[in-house]
Amino acid sequence: MATPYVIVTTWRFGLAASIRGNEVLAGGGSAIDAIEAAGNLTELDPEVNSVGYGGLPNADGVVELDAAIMDGPTHAAGSVAGLTGIKTPISVARKVMLYTPHTMLVGDNAKRFALQHGFADERLLTDVSNERWLEWRANQSAADVAHFDTGPREGLTELTPDNHDTIGLVALDSHGNLAAGCTTSGMAWKVPGRVGDSPIIGSGLYVDNEIGAAAGTGHGDEMMKAVVSFRTVEAMGRGLTPTEACVEALRYLMRKRPPESFNNYGAALIAVRKDGDIGAASTRSGFAAPDRLWQWAAAGEQVPAILNEGPYCTPTSLISSL
């Protein structure tokens, strides 16, 4: 019997991506093809300022992209980090998976690899994103904004409306196979060379074809230390529902951080189980701004293409449930 296919993506802009991925799945396409097609749609949308073309740049004004893709049936993965000049990094990540004996390529050599595989070298800044960077730059007092202060690290990067809207994607196809993806321009105005959670297998995304798939969005510097996507899949393997598994992984993340820093965290997860059940959770409702609600999208054979909200693991519920 065919499995009820479904794709789940992060954020409001994920709805268009989910609809695109669902078209692939409805045509009998594989989960990994759906993930790539859906990711590309968002990467190429100049209106989405946190992914691909039009993404906000690093402190030097350079757009550095991170992306990864993982295939359930083969448990293979490919990823790129700090990639410049290529509009569709999730497709480069897939080529890394298919055409190298490795899993991850970074920086100039990731670009060199992409160019060898026929990707075009293009300007990723739009007039809008360039203007936003110029405004930010004009408000910085340090001479070398690329490396910020030289003093000791204090606290977390401040949450601003410019950060953390990575698209994470998980899919189950009609053949019963799973895949996941992540693609992002990362934190706006980041220190050049900074890599977030998105291209890190186990943190930004994870798939076990016998259990399920998960992907994340949010404060990557913190999320990667808690390996949240792996935790989510492992929790589904212990019998938790996708939503319960996302909540458990986020609770772990929060438990490792001082409660007073909870307001600085934006972290969210999406998941799909092998049987087609889907779920999600977030640490907060307004991620970087009160009007920027955590939303996630899904579309599938038995799931209408809709936006969902929540559930939220508020600091209070997290603390009281520990």
State which amino acid sits at residue 88: T
The angle formed by the CA atoms of residues 130, 133 and 137, to the nearest 5 degrees, is 140
Q: Does 196 bind ligand GLY (CB under 6 A)?
A: yes
Q: Does 186 bind ligand GLY (CB under 6 A)?
A: yes
The piece of 41-49, 131-139, 196-204, 306-314 that touches ligand GLY (CB under 6 A) is 196-204
Q: Does 218 bind ligand GLY (CB under 6 A)?
A: yes
Provide the minimum distance between the beta carbon of 184 and ligand GLY in the complex, in angstroms, as a whole number: 5
State which amino acid sits at residue 50: S
Q: Does 187 bind ligand GLY (CB under 6 A)?
A: yes
Our answer to whether residue 157 is catalytic in this structure is no
Specify the 3-state DSSP secondary structure of 80: strand
- How many C-beta atoms surround the C-beta of residue 45 within 10 A? 17
Cβ proximity of 80 and 93 under 8 Å:
yes
The one-character DSSP state at 190 is: P
Q: Does 284 bind ligand GLY (CB under 6 A)?
A: no
Q: Does 52 bind ligand GLY (CB under 6 A)?
A: no
The piece of 118-126, 143-151, 194-202, 271-279 that touches ligand GLY (CB under 6 A) is 194-202
Q: Which is nearer to ligand GLY, 33 or 66 (CB)?
A: 66
Residue with tokens 């009820």: 4
Catalytic annotation, pick one of 166, 183, 243, 283:
166
Cβ proximity of 253 and 223 under 8 Å:
yes
Residue 214 to residue 204: CA distance in whole angstroms: 8
For 110, residues 6+ apart whose C-beta sits below 8 A from its C-beta are: 80, 81, 82, 83, 92, 96
* Closest alpha carbon to 31 in 2, 91, 72: 72
Q: Which is nearer to ligand GLY, 5 or 296 (CB)?
A: 296
Q: Which is nearer to ligand GLY, 132 or 274 (CB)?
A: 132
Q: Which is nearer to ligand GLY, 22 or 184 (CB)?
A: 184
Provide the minimum distance between the beta carbon of 196 and ligand GLY in the complex, in angstroms, as a whole number: 2
Report the catalytic residues: 166
* Binding site residues, ligand GLY, CB under 6 A: 164, 166, 184, 186-187, 196-198, 217-220
